[in-house]
Amino acid sequence: MKQFAIAIHGGAGTILRSTMSPENEMNYKKGLEEAILAGDAILSSGGTALDAVEAAVKKLEDNPLFNAGRGAVFTNEGKNEMDSSIMNGQNLMAGAVTGINNIKNPISLARAVMEKSEHVFLSGSGAIEFAKKMKLEFAPDEYFFVQERYDQLLQAKESDHMVLDHSILRSTNTALGDAENKTPTSKKGTVGAVALDIHGNIAAATSTGGMTNKKFGRVGDSPVIGAGTYANNNTCAVSCTGHGEFFIRAVAAYDISCLMEYKGLSLNKACDEVVHQKLVKLGGEGGLIAIDAEGNIEMPFNSEGMYRASRKSGGEVYIGIYND
Ligand code: ASP
């Protein structure tokens, strides 16, 4: 049987074993396992990588523990504005949405943009109008209200900073390792999936509520094709998580693909170059998951932790949280 594989993430940031309760740890692991199994079930029955990444991300969007869909963080105005994107490595088709609200599964809207519109990237009210036309499922504001998320906003407003889901935001000019600017209070994150199917195709998907206390219609890397998400059968499929401004400036996901395509680097070397060299030099905290058409999986991060899981061809499920 041809091989298949899938990897997912639930966000990167200041995730420390020392501040995690056993109960929380168990819940995160359960959420990750449910999502990876949802994607894996599709792949093992011969389904497509595209269906697998959408299914895995939908599970994570439905779980209030993660910063996407139901658990999306709050903007400065107390709203949930979500972003998502999806890309098919077989034909380089892509779809993305930004600044949307009340859509239960933003990743399905991104997919509809890719498959049922002549566009790639829709925003705000136009994207919502398109979602209505596509008869996607809507949910009321209450569905997206998670008390802990709201408390996070109140906390962030005190400092007047925009907060990465797991960490207090650093100034964009400070380097990594400035412990004073970090707090381990918040441990939820953007979600993503990458997969290889038995037909040899790869795909990537990312979904997020962005950063707590974001203002002025701020858009991060998650819905930006090439920054937060990218897929090309010839190289790799990538989904990023972290401080989006840096990932946009690094064109992180596409850069990994370019290092493979033009410089002949392996997936491992390309990921290392971007996550542990380029982003660190810029001061960009975060990580990513990546897969190539041979089923190699990389899940590097330069933050304290990253919720992540993987499974190859029905083998053991790997679940990781901390940096060990
Ligand atoms: N990358 C996301 C953003 O900047 C945040 C995250 O990954 O937690 O919007």
Closest ligand 1 atom, residue 219 Cα: 9
To 10 degrees, what angle do helices 49-62 and 106-116 make?
A: 150
* Residues linked to residue 312 through DSSP beta bridges, in sequence order: 5
198: CA distance to ligand 1 center in Å? 31
Kindly report the length of the chain: 324
Read off the pLDDT band of 324 (50, 70, 90): confident
Task: Please work out whether the CB of residue 164 comes within 6 Å of at least one atom of ligand 1.
Answer: yes
Q: 48, 98, 190, 235: which one is catalytic?
A: 190
Q: Note if 229 is an active site residue.
A: no
CA distance 148 to 15: 16
What is the residue range of 197's domain? Answer: 5-322
pTM here is 0.92
- Quick check: 180 pLDDT over 80? no
Cβ count within 10 A of residue 281? 11
Q: What is the pLDDT of residue 97?
A: 98
Read off the pLDDT band of 1 (50, 70, 90): low
Q: How many separate domains does the chain show?
A: 1
* Nearest CA residue ID for atom 7, ligand 1: 241
Task: Please work out whether the CB of residue 221 comes within 6 Å of at least one atom of ligand 1.
Answer: yes
Give pLDDT tens digits for 208-259.
999 989 999 999 999 999 999 999 999 999 999 999 999 999 999 999 999 9
Q: Provide the b/e sequence for 255-270 (b: ≥16 CB within 10 Å).
A: bbbbbbeeeebebeeb
209: CA distance to ligand 1 center in Å? 8
CA distance 111 to 54: 8
233: CA distance to ligand 1 center in Å? 25
Q: Provide the b/e sequence for 215-230 (b: ≥16 CB within 10 Å).
A: eeebbbbbbbbbbbbb
Choose which residue among 169, 186, 222 to substitute to test ligand 1 binding: the one with the highest number of ligand atoms within 8 A of its C-beta.
222
Handedness of CA 121, 193, 245, 300 (dihedral sign): negative
Task: Please work out whether the CB of residue 209 comes within 6 Å of at least one atom of ligand 1.
Answer: no
Task: Please work out whether the CB of residue 11 comes within 6 Å of at least one atom of ligand 1.
Answer: yes
Task: Please work out whether the CB of residue 223 comes within 6 Å of at least one atom of ligand 1.
Answer: no
CATH code, 234: 3.60.20.30
21 touches 295 (CB < 8 A): no
Give pLDDT tens digits for 94-136.
999 999 999 999 999 999 999 999 999 999 999 999 999 999 9
- Quick check: 56 pLDDT over 50? yes
* Residues linked to residue 123 through DSSP beta bridges, in sequence order: 98
Average pLDDT, the chain: 91
CA distance 55 to 58: 5
Q: Which of 241, 219, 192 is nearest to 122 (CA)?
A: 219
Read off the pLDDT band of 162 (50, 70, 90): confident
